Amino acid sequence: MVKASNFLEVPIEFNKAFKATPKVVINDTSGSGNANNITNCKVIVASGSITTTGFTARFYNNTSSNVSSFVANWIAVYAE
């Protein structure tokens, strides 16, 4: 749960380490088609958190209510 006007950091570990720091793209899919949910709940990759073994996702709840769950898709890519 993410309390109102707060955030939660979630460590993500890659199945296999990259040779160098990859690029990470993350997309919040928590809205379930509800535009208000998509607007009010945000997810980002925490600044400076990407390593060869994982990253930290930061889920923001900028509403006045607690949010019980977030859903996000992500991909990490490294091109030699």
pLDDT band at 69; cut points 50, 70, 90: confident
61 in Cβ contact with 67 (< 8 Å) = yes
What's 72's domain CATH number? Answer: 2.60.40.2080
Q: Is residue 1 included in any domain, yes or no?
A: no
- List for the chain the helix, strand, coil content (%; round to 5): 10, 45, 50
What span, in angstroms and rounded, lies between the C-alpha atoms of 46 and 10? 9
* % pLDDT > 90, the chain: 36
pLDDT in tens, 25-62: 988 777 654 555 555 667 777 778 999 999 999 888 88
Range of the domain at 26: 6-77
Higher-confidence position of 23 and 40: 23
Q: Is residue 73 included in any domain, yes or no?
A: yes
Residue 59 has a pLDDT of 87
72 in Cβ contact with 26 (< 8 Å) = yes
